[in-house]
Chains A and B, each alone.
Chain A
Amino acid sequence: MRKLSLPERSTTFLGVAVVVLAMFGGCSLDPVQNGSIQALGDEDPAIPQGKYHRAGQPCVLCHSTTGPASDKPFAVAGTVFVDPFGRRPSKQTWVRVRDGENRQVCKTTNCKGNFFITDDEFGSSFDGKAGPAYPLLVSVHRSLPGNPSGKFRAMQSHIGRDGSCAGCHRPAPPAADGKAVVASFDTPGVVRLYETEAEAKAGIPEDPNDVCPPAAEEVLIPCPEDLQ
């Protein structure tokens, strides 16, 4: 075999380094994170990988520096539903997040009920790092036709360190008697506007013309505080 000359050798090293980086870059070595991501299953083929995908799932699990969507990391992200069982997404809903340094960011959910906030949107905290300072307090708010004050709910407890709403808010499994329940012993249920199906139907009637993802680009209603 011919002896490699120096420049060739360094390109070989570079090549190996690139391959190794491609294998591990953005891929977590944390078995818990990998296992949790695998448990989420494959993408829904009907929904393109983007802002409408994986509604109700823990977005930040993947959208973090060690996840498969490491080039698009989120600080806080999730999905808001109208009903308690996560069947109907709540669009045009304002999600407000207040961090430990009293900075507030407000985002509007899209037609899948999804929203996401990046580190930069919080600015940098006291220690100079971009992103929210935990703990966080959150609320959801949707203005309704004929009811401008709308439906508002604030979470009582704080978020200690998980940027995914669905890290805690999962649909509860059915109770022993087969009836669906709103919450379980280890989850408060999905993030929702209404506690019962009946309330949800009365509060926000279902609209068969709602198609999501929509044909045309969706226009989100900005949070009132962001208009000034």
Chain B
Amino acid sequence: MSVFASRALRALFVVATTSTVAVAAASCASVPDVDRLTIFAAEDGGSLEPDYKIYRAEVDLILQQQCGTFDCHGQPGRAYRVYSSRGLRVFNPEAGLRSGLGETTEDEVRYNFQSLISVQPEETRRVVARNGQNPDVLIFLSKPLGAERHKGGAVIGKGGPSYECITAWLAAPLGGQLGPNALKQCATARTIR
């Protein structure tokens, strides 16, 4: 074999190896982005769902009144579905729940909570995990704020009582409480119908 031939072969070998390595590297997943990991629980194993007790006491009525009408989220066809005494009732002939009659039931409030946190289950937990920082990534805020296409248009204002109440709830630790200012905002928001 001539020197020339073996040199050419060696060059071919180098090209082949580098390109194989390059292809292999390219097909490898990139370094995982820790912010995009699916989070189910806090580091100590605790739940990362937002607090239900605060939701039930302070937040649910705001969403019933401002989002839950029949022509909006009080519809079975909506991904985010809201039940309320003044709109859609849980279909249960035995309970005999009627639209416009009686109080919203505990079951209905719980379904509303489940529906809300199921819109973006992971993203919601990420927001809770970072103590409510940057909550506007959640479409259940960006849509009613009008920052994203929303059939119902811009229905809450940033810094308004409904926004302040909901974001304070997302920032509250599980089993915690809202501060006096947040409680005031929630009370005001519940008077809006």
Contacts and interface: CB of A to CB of B under 8 A. Distances in A.
B82 to A, nearest CB: 11
A137 B193 CA distance: 9
A167 interface: yes
Contacts of B89: 185-186
A146 B88 CA distance: 38
A183 B151 contact: no
Residues of A contacting B: mostly: loop
A105 interface: no
Contacts of B193: 137, 156-158
B188 to A, nearest CB: 17
A137 B98 CA distance: 21
5 contacts: A157-B65, A158-B69, A184-B98, A186-B76, A187-B99
Interface of B: 65, 67, 69-72, 76, 86-93, 97-101, 151-153, 155, 193
Given A156-B193, A157-B193, A185 B97 contact: yes
Contact of B100 (A159, A160, A161, A188): A188
Contacts of A168: 69-71
A162 B99 contact: no
Contacts of B88: 185-186
B55 to A, nearest CB: 20
Contacts of A158: 65, 69, 193
Interface of A: 134-135, 137, 156-162, 167-168, 176, 181-189
Given A167-B71, A168-B71, A160 B152 contact: yes
B102 to A, nearest CB: 10
A176 B89 CA distance: 17
Given A157-B69, A157-B87, A157-B193, A188 B99 contact: yes
A98 B147 CA distance: 27
Given A157-B65, A157-B87, A176-B93, A183 B71 contact: no
B21 to A, nearest CB: 53
A134 B193 CA distance: 12
Contact of A183 (B93, B101, B155): B101
Given A134-B153, A188-B99, A188-B100, A159 B87 contact: no
Residue among A158, A167, A176, A189 with most chain B CB within 10 A = A158
Contacts of B76: 186
Contacts of B101: 183
A158 B97 CA distance: 20
A161 B90 contact: no
B90 to A, nearest CB: 7
B97 to A, nearest CB: 6
